[in-house]
């Protein structure tokens, strides 16, 4: 193994220019989501590249998924290369979509400028740098050890930034993220080169509507104001729920630290006449008020309890407040996911980080979700982590960058991990 490690490290060092150029070319596809710009040319670029390395390439369009159209097709690419003998399959999955550049840049966000050992641009960190790092790691590994067992896959998938429905979720439904096709999955999201991300907290989004009765605004006593009812809901949330959430702490190593409690955000609230109207408002008692909540929950909590904390408050108000009426509608549910540290992927990557960087990895859990949810929930594959070279705090920011040296170190970690996953000892 030591001979192979040295060979791999030299091979990756030798490919630094290729790694940089590959990252730059990927960043120059402005794969902004929404709307899902330039997905097909970006996917085809990855496909052509992997084909040259000997991969078999498939393109799968997320037909009919949100945003999919002939103008903005949800094009995914999956490459697979078989080893010399049967064995497990390692899969590297990266999303190719990026968020809008936004304001505040000193570099052109799609020029992929090199400055001071870094590549600047939208998606360098999140996560085209991770994608190119995994491609170089795999190519170097195949060059050094062409007799490997099992199979290696690399995918470039769409729409992670908008939930992954046209990307990993679509592919998982078609069996691309399940046994026996795949055994081990690494998602090179930017969690930092020496951290292993084991999973994420859960999500429940819901819309609460309070009902009222319309009347003339000069005689509100004849109607029933839905906004006042929502005010009562807010008061109960402040008094009862938020303090309770702060006290719920998790054993999950969530970063940042503040996200080790349960949290809830109120995404939106609206009642009465819409604010895009710029005349004088009409004097109406609003008969409806809607609020969208974004509740992030811990692995120690059950989704059922999470929901009943809210419905208990609403039911209580129904008893204590005259004419109070409501509906509640689920918008999204994702269960928390956390891979055990002793599973093959985290164990292999931890050993590789120790070998490359001379230190133990930090284990983390993401406050928000990413495509691991679909691998776990739809694919039923639990040996999955996020591991990649980008610096988490730079994701989605102006002047996003990736450090070239971090990609090199991370590629070495990935290459060693491929070997130990494909050739487990004992
Ligand atoms: Zn990402």
As a whole number of angstroms, the distance between CA 185 and CA 296 comes to 24
- Taking the centre of ligand 1 as the mean of its atom positions, its distance from the CA of residue 111, in whole angstroms, is 19
Q: Both tokens of residue 270?
A: 């609206």
**What topology is assigned to 202-334 in CATH?**
Alpha-Beta Plaits (3.30.70)
If you measure from the C-alpha of residue 391 to the centroid of ligand 1, how many angstroms do you get, rounded to a whole number?
11
pLDDT digits (tens, 9 = 90+) for 250-290: 999 999 899 999 999 999 999 998 877 778 878 999 999 99
Nearest to 346 by CA among 335, 357, 354, 334: 354
Q: Please, which residues have CB within 8 angstroms of residue 58's CB and are 6 or more apart in sequence?
A: 77, 78, 79, 80
Cα of 302 from ligand 1 centre, angstroms: 27
Q: For residue 420, report the distance from its CA to the centre of ligand 1, in Å.
A: 26
Q: Where in the chain is the domain with CATH 3.40.630.10?
A: 2-200+336-422
What does the pLDDT average to over 103-120? 98
Q: Which fold would CATH assign to domain 2-200+336-422?
A: Aminopeptidase (3.40.630)
CB-based contacts of 6: which residues, under 8 Å, 6+ apart? none
Distance from Cα 37 to the centre of ligand 1, integer Å: 16
Distance from Cα 20 to the centre of ligand 1, integer Å:
19
Is residue 131 within 8 A of residue 160, CB to CB? The reply is: no
Kindly give the residue spans of alpha helices, DSSP state H, lying in 145-248. 168-173, 226-236, 242-247
Rounded Cα–Cα distance for residues 290 and 85 (Å): 58
**pLDDT tens, 22-63?**
999 999 999 999 999 999 999 999 999 999 999 999 999 999
Whole-prediction pTM value? Answer: 0.90
pLDDT of residue 65: 97
**Alpha carbon of 19 to ligand 1 centroid (Å):** 19
CA of 97 to the centre of ligand 1 (A): 8
Question: What does the pLDDT average to over 224-248?
Answer: 98
Q: Which helix H or strand E contains 384, and what residues bound it?
A: strand 384-386
Residue 319 CA to ligand 1 centre (angstroms):
45
| For residues 324-350, average pLDDT | 96
| pLDDT computed for residue 1 by the predictor | 60
Query: CA–CA separation, 411 vs 353, rounded Å?
Result: 11
**Tens digits of residue pLDDT in 360-403:** 999 999 998 999 999 999 999 999 999 999 998 899 999 999 99
- Residue 215's pLDDT is 96
Distance 397 CA to ligand 1 centre (A): 12
Domain with CATH 3.30.70.360 in the chain: 202-334
Gap from CA of 337 to ligand 1 centroid (Å): 17
DSSP annotation of 287: S
Residues around the ion ligand 1 (C-beta < 5 A): 126-127, 189
Q: Which two tokens stand for residue 202?
A: 């859960």
Residue 330 has φ and ψ, to the nearest 5°, of -75, 135
| Pairing verdict, β 118-120 and 401-403 | antiparallel
């Amino acid at each position: 193994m030591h001979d192979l490690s040295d060979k791999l490290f030299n091979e990756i060092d030798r490919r630094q220019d290729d790694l940089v150029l590959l990252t730059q070319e990927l960043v120059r596809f402005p794969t902004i989501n929404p709307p899902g710009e330039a997905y097909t040319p970006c996917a085809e670029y990855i496909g052509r590249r992997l084909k040259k390395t000997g991969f078999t390439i498939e393109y799968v369009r997320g037909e009919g998924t949100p945003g999919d159209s002939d103008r903005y097709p949800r094009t995914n690419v999956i490459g697979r290369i078989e080893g010399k003998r049967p064995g497990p399959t390692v899969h590297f999955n990266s999303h190719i979509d990026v968020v809008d550049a936004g304001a505040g840049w000193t570099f052109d966000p799609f020029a992929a400028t090199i400055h001071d050992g870094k590549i600047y641009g939208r998606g360098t960190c999140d996560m085209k740098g991770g994608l190119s790092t995994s491609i170089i790691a795999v190519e170097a590994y195949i060059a050094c050890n062409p007799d490997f067992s099992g199979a290696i896959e690399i995918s470039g998938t769409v729409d992670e930034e908008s939930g992954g429905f046209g990307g990993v979720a679509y592919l998982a439904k078609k069996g691309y993220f399940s046994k026996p096709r795949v055994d081990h999955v690494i998602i090179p999201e930017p969690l930092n080169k020496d951290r292993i991300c084991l999973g994420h907290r859960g999500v429940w989004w819901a819309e609460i509507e309070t009902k009222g009765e319309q009347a003339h605004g000069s005689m509100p006593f004849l109607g029933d104001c839905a906004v006042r009812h929502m005010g009562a809901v807010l008061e109960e949330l402040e008094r009862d729920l938020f303090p309770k959430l702060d006290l719920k702490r998790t054993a999950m190593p969530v970063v940042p630290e503040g996200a080790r409690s349960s949290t809830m955000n109120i995404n939106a609230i609206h009642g009465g006449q819409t604010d895009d109207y710029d005349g004088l408002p009409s004097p109406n008692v609003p008969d409806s008020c809607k609020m969208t909540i974004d509740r992030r929950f811990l692995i120690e909590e059950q989704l059922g309890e999470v929901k009943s904390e809210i419905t208990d408050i609403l039911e209580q108000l129904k008893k204590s407040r005259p004419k109070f009426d409501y509906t509640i509608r689920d918008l999204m549910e994702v269960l928390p996911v956390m891979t055990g540290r002793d599973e093959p992927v985290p164990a292999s990557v931890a050993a590789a980080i120790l070998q490359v960087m001379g230190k133990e990895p930090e284990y983390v859990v993401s406050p928000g979700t990413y495509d691991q949810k679909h691998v776990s929930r739809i694919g039923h594959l639990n040996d999955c982590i996020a591991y990649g070279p980008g610096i988490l705090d730079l994701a989605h920011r102006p002047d996003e960058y990736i450090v070239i040296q971090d990609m090199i170190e991370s590629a070495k970690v990935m290459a060693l991990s491929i070997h130990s996953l494909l050739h487990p000892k004992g």
